[in-house]
Amino acid sequence: MYLDVLKQAEWPNPALSSASDTPTKLTGNSGVKMTARTNMSRRLLARRYESWRRLRLQHRNQSRAGNSNRESLEKFIPKEHLWPIDEAWNFHAGGERFTTVNIFTDGLNRRYGQATSLDDYERKAQAMAYDGQRAMFEAYGRNKYTATGVIQWMLNNSWPSLIWHLYDYYLVPAGGYFGTKKAMEPVHVQYSYDDNSVAVVNDTDAVLKGMKVSARIYNIDAKEKASKETRFSILRQTAVPRRSTFQTWKAFRTLTS
């Protein structure tokens, strides 16, 4: 029935048979890649690079998760269970291998340091969701004419949940929402973790001439160590397959060599 509706509507885009990697008798494999490494801490540290590599070379689809703000947590987690994390949190996680927030928490602690309070955990969780979502959409933006696609799972939750949303059950946006928003701005400058270049993606219908782009490198103590600036023009958005709508600048490779 689903395919019939698309046919009747003369929908021009390809349709997937499933929102998972489960094959069907009618169409075979869906082409969606749902599985990933279970070592969340390792995956988070390498997520940006992996996003670039996977979408650039393997042409696979991805799905990613979100998290909740404190103002939402206080609405569905009893006050006495807000901190430390316990089974009340896990009740609002997911199913199968997502029944707890332990993997996410382990990645958070390894990436940003051990969370010491609810506020500390929430702040770091927002940063982690922002970074992961932004990386995914930046990877697709740079490689969209050679990548098969990207799937966002999901927009929002049908009940109060800790995972899988850009804005939650109460319509409150989480860090992942803002990471996605930044990555998808019409003209976007981004760092490429796979080759240490800077890419400029143009999703508008205008040819941008004489654009100025600058890059700066800072130490962990926020002291500037190097900088570079350049000017160039970039083609307008086009649907022609394999035609580049981004340009790269080997700024960071030069700065760090």
Residue closest to 70 by CA, chosen among 211, 175, 217? 175
**Which residue carries 């799972």 as its tokens?**
153
Q: Are 198 and 215 a contacting pair, CB within 8 Å?
A: yes
Residue closest to 203 by CA, chosen among 155, 154, 237? 237
Where is pLDDT greater, at 125 or 43?
125
Residue 131 to residue 126: CA distance in whole angstroms = 9
Q: Which of 85-99, 183-197, 226-240 bottoms out in mean pLDDT, i.e. has the lowest?
A: 226-240
199 pairs with which residues across the strands?
A: 190, 248
Residues 17-41 have pLDDT tens digits of: 666 777 777 777 766 766 554 333 3
Report H helices in 54-117. Answer: 70-76, 87-90, 102-112
Q: Would you call the peptide bond into 14 cis, given omega within 30 degrees of 0 as the criterion? A: no
Q: Does residue 240 come out as left (phi exceeding 0), alpha (psi in the -120 to 50 range) or beta?
A: beta
Whether the per-residue pLDDT at 76 is higher than 90: the answer is: yes
Residue 142 to residue 138: CA distance in whole angstroms = 6
Whether the per-residue pLDDT at 53 is higher than 80: the answer is: no
Q: What percent of the chain has pLDDT over 70?
A: 74
Q: What percent of the chain has pLDDT over 90?
A: 28
The model's confidence at residue 235, banded by pLDDT at 50, 70 and 90, is confident
Domains and CATH numbers, the chain: 33-184 (3.20.20.80), 186-257 (2.60.40.10)
For residue 1, what pLDDT is reported? 63
Q: Are 250 and 197 a contacting pair, CB within 8 Å?
A: yes
Residue closest to 149 by CA, chosen among 163, 139, 161, 134? 139
Residue 208 to residue 20: CA distance in whole angstroms = 39
Q: Is 139 exposed, middle or buried (0-12, 13-18, 19+ CB in 10 A)?
A: buried
For residue 152, what pLDDT is reported? 81
Mean pLDDT over 145-151 rounds to 72
Mean pLDDT over 127-149 rounds to 83
Where is pLDDT greater, at 180 or 53?
180
* Inter-helix orientation angle 102-112/40-53, to 10°: 80
